[in-house]
Amino acid sequence: MRCIYLLCIVAASLMAACNGNKATEASKLPGTWSEIETKAKGSSITMMMFQGDKKVNRYMNEYVVPQIKKLYNIQLQIVPGQGKEVVGNLMSEMEAGKKVSEIDVCWINGETFFQLRQIDALFGPYSGLLPNSKYVDSLNPTIKYDFQQQVNGYETPWGQSLFYLIYDSARLLNAPVSMANFETYFKQRPGRFTLATDFSGMTLLKTWLVELAGGMNELDGPFNEAKYNKYSAQLWQWLNTNKQYFWKKGETFPSSNTTVSQMFSTGELDFTCSFNDAEIDNKVGEGVYPTTAKALILAPGTIQNTHYVGISANSGKKEAAMVLCNFLLSPQAQARKSDITYWGSGTVLDLQSLPPADRALFDSLPKRVYGLQNSQLKDRAIKELAPEYMLRVFDDFRSKVING
């Protein structure tokens, strides 16, 4: 991961001259939204996104794809890829001088947004041109800032997420919340805990980093090398001391939280984690998790962030990509996305700004039965750290814990 980050920094200076006009391309689009929609009709576009969640896939395949075809005659193809795959693909195309990207739209946030901006791989600023942007809760700092970065119109907010652990209350009567609690738990129930090497596992590590720092205030703001070195050294020492009690004695770690969740559902592990506050209700409804599954907010709080969609700077179908982004912001699409029978993701819209009929779409959504309500999680929400923290945690966890 850090290798891609360093390559991005180097590539940014090399590409600056040839890509310097990307930021002004939005002004070259047709003058009105109606003209943009007209030019978009009949287009085929490709979206790269994480496809490891059945509910997410259902929302996209059963709702978004047919709706965008029906309403705008746009054929949407979805291909798998996230984070490093998005960055790697777009950077390779740009380095090869490819004028038209194979990726039109991508699901991104945080360190991925940071890296793509470093190499000028995103089209914009465009999001303010979307008619449905008027409904966005733009005063919300977790929407305006992506991992403490100004979005500045280079990505469209799509949904809000809060990070928490999931455990079975029938197996664990007193679930650990602090690192001290976890240290006791590891020794009492060896082999019952692990974390994935993906963004979910790294967010758990960032939560513990915040705990070691004494709270979010210490790590708030731009990346601080000295603070990172201080608190991460404590984190790696703590993990290396305790990983002997992890699943497979900490000698290997799953590559995806999907695997961790499967092992939790079969009783092999005591914990999994999620960014979706509807996850427990979703999985209980599917018969995957027991009805005794509960959400656990760790001592420092629940890291809250927004996920976005971005448009490739070299997309050959920018109008169609913008129409898709605008549709994803519509009250109808956001309400369906917030429905726990589809996805359950928190909306990025200011519900008070919606017409009464659209607001009613959200009021009528089914409520959570097993998991915490979104409002309960938000009461314990803390900011995301600057993107460099995630990049460093990815790299250092591998070098200092897995290979340490």
Domain boundaries, the chain: 2-162+305-375, 164-304+381-402
Give the CATH number of domain 2-162+305-375. 3.40.190.10
Write out the two tokens for 119. 């190499």
**Sole residue written with tokens 């097993």:** 370
Domain 164-304+381-402 part of CATH 3.20.130.10: no
Write out the two tokens for 376. 């309960």
Chain mean pLDDT for the chain? 92
- CB contact at 8 A, 301 and 382: yes
Peptide bond into 125 cis (omega under 30): yes
Number of DSSP helices (H) and strands (E) in the chain, helices first: 18, 11
Model confidence at 25, in pLDDT bands (50, 70, 90)? low
Give pLDDT tens digits for 195-207: 999 999 999 999 9
Give pLDDT tens digits for 340-390: 988 999 999 999 999 999 999 999 999 889 988 777 888 899 999 999 999
Whether 271 has a pLDDT exceeding 80, the answer reads yes
- CB contact at 8 A, 324 and 202: no
State the pLDDT at residue 404.
80
Q: Do domains 2-162+305-375 and 164-304+381-402 have the same CATH topology?
A: yes
- Residue 367 to residue 172: CA distance in whole angstroms: 26
Four-CA torsion 130, 131, 135, 140, nearest 10 degrees: 20
Write out the two tokens for 310. 């971005």
Give pLDDT tens digits for 55-94: 899 999 999 999 999 999 999 999 999 999 999 999 999 9
- CB contact at 8 A, 76 and 45: yes
Q: Report H helices in 132-250.
A: 141-144, 179-188, 199-212, 216-219, 225-242
Give pLDDT tens digits for 193-239: 999 999 999 999 999 999 999 999 999 999 999 999 999 999 999 99
| Burial tier of 223 (Cβ tally within 10 Å: 0-12, 13-18, 19+) | middle
Query: Residues 266-282: what's their mean pLDDT?
Result: 94
